[in-house]
Amino acid sequence: MKSILYGAVCLLLLACTAISQTSSPAPTLKTRGSDPDELIPNTAVSPDTPVITVQGLCEKPANSSATPADCNTVITRAEFEKVVNAVQPNMPSAQKKQFANQYVMALLLAEKAHEMGLDQGPEFNERLQLARLQLLDREAAQQMQKNAQNVSESAINDYYQQHAADYKTISFERIYIPKQKQIEVGANQKPNDPEIQKKRAASEVDMKGEADKLRARAAAGEDFLKLQQEAYDAAGSKMKASNVKMENLPKNSIPTTDASIFELKKGEVSQVFADPTGYRVYKVLEVTDQPLAKVHDQIAQTLRTQSIKTSFESLQNDAKTTYDEAYFATPAPPSLKNPSGHQPQGTTPGNK
């Protein structure tokens, strides 16, 4: 009886535990035994000692209200901890009573469903098979992730040597030039007014020219803080230049469009880089190699992620799956002629 119920509620308990872990904040970690009121598992309770007794719970024939004379379910410590370990290994003692309440309710609901005959028929069997599939899917994914944790030191060292250019830091001075001037919009004008749009377009041309001029002056050795203030002034901005120097930034903190500054020598000034908001000019102060010890953990995590990705991609590629495109075709979007969005029978998209 009990083993049947355990199997019936296992997936329900997994789902309940996952939901509670998602919606509830993580408990504050404490040093074991530091709190005199902390619940400590009673190891004196033997494995075969009953820890939960549910009077009135027993297996009854489907679609029957007949009750055996001795109707109760007894769960020993060993049986309960087996369920706990299947759901959440190392569950804190303070959570076990709440989990026990959830477990008992799951047992009661499972038996009620059995009495009502809800565990019979092809639909239930299909759901049971799908639940088993989902459980195996999760177990396989977790095992693949566990296997990926084993990253050797030689692999980390090899990756560092092969990608040394990605583990440098850079110090530089930078000028930022806004892409447009500040345009005043009249009280009776809208932002998309043609006259306003024309002024914005003209201001973009002016600011691009300003960026080129400032870059030339920077290459000639002029002070970057002064040039930054002139960039703000040219755009009609009221901002005050305060700091143009950045130190020891890793490559992944630099826009990918600007990554070529790592190839410049000390004292060299970059080209003008652009994005939708403005222009940037750099003067390299120093490029430094980060030691392996500093990026060791970062590389290890990169290799773990790559290993997991490769494992999943390998499964997909080996399967060589094909899909019936007619069955999985995306429905046409709704229109006035076809409000439902479904294609009329005997027609294909594009045919009239």
Checking if the pLDDT of 2 tops 70, the result is: no
* Between residues 350 and 179, the one the model is more confident about: 179
Burial of 129 (0-12, 13-18, 19+ CB in 10 A): exposed
DSSP β-bridge partners for residue 174: 282
115 contacts 60 by C-beta, under 8 angstroms: yes
CA distance 5 to 108: 9
DSSP β-bridge partners for residue 275: 278
Checking if the pLDDT of 6 tops 90, the result is: no
What are the Cα distances from residue 87, in Å, to 13, 74, 101, 260?
Answer: 7, 20, 14, 50
Domains, the chain, ordered by start: 2-24+40-120 (no CATH), 168-184+192-289 (3.10.50.40)
For residue 174, give every residue at least 6 positions away whose Cβ sits within 8 Å of its Cβ, in sequence order, or none.
224, 244, 246, 280, 281, 282, 283
Which of these ranges, 65-79, 101-115, 130-144, has the smallest mean pLDDT? 65-79
pLDDT tens readout for residues 260-298: 999 999 999 999 999 999 999 999 999 999 999 999 999
Tell me the pLDDT of the chain averaged across its residues. Answer: 84
Question: Residue 19: pLDDT band by 50, 70, 90 thresholds?
Answer: very low
